[in-house]
């Protein structure tokens, strides 16, 4: 399984074999794939991303490997 952080956006789970359950173990209905989970905290459809991050100025550009001066590095080739 691979989870991709979209720059200034959600966590995207890049696998078809995903089950998302709540704290009681009850599964959420997954209507769209790949599954995008809200990372900004503003979605009205939590835990799913509903695109609200685009209008709130969410800054989520942390890279796995920081660039010079601690700034986020650019993409490393993954599309
Ligand atoms: S990351 Fe998309 S609405 Fe929060």
Is 40 touching ligand 1 by the criterion CB < 6 Å? yes
Residue-range domains of the chain with CATH: 1-60 (3.40.5.90)
Instruction: Give me the pLDDT at residue 3, please.
Output: 95
- pTM for the model stands at 0.81
Instruction: Give me the pLDDT at residue 75, please.
Output: 57
Residue 69: pLDDT band with limits 50, 70, 90: low
Question: To the nearest whole number, what is the mean pLDDT of the chain?
Answer: 88
List the single range of 11-15, 33-37, 66-70 with lowest mean pLDDT: 66-70
Structure tokens at 30: 């997954």
Residue 66: pLDDT band with limits 50, 70, 90: confident
- What is the pLDDT averaged over residues 52-76? 79
Percent helix, strand and coil across the chain, each to the nearest 5: 10, 20, 75
- Expressed in angstroms and rounded, the spacing between residue 76 Cα and the centre of ligand 1 is 23
């Amino acid at each position: 399984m691979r989870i991709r952080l979209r720059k200034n956006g959600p966590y995207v789970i890049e696998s078809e074999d995903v089950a998302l359950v709540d704290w009681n173990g009850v599964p959420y209905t997954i209507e769209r794939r790949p599954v995008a989970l809200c990372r900004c905290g503003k979605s009205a459809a939590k835990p799913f991303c509903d695109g609200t991050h685009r209008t709130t100025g969410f800054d989520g550009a942390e890279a796995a490997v920081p660039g010079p001066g601690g700034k986020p590095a650019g993409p490393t080739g993954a599309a």
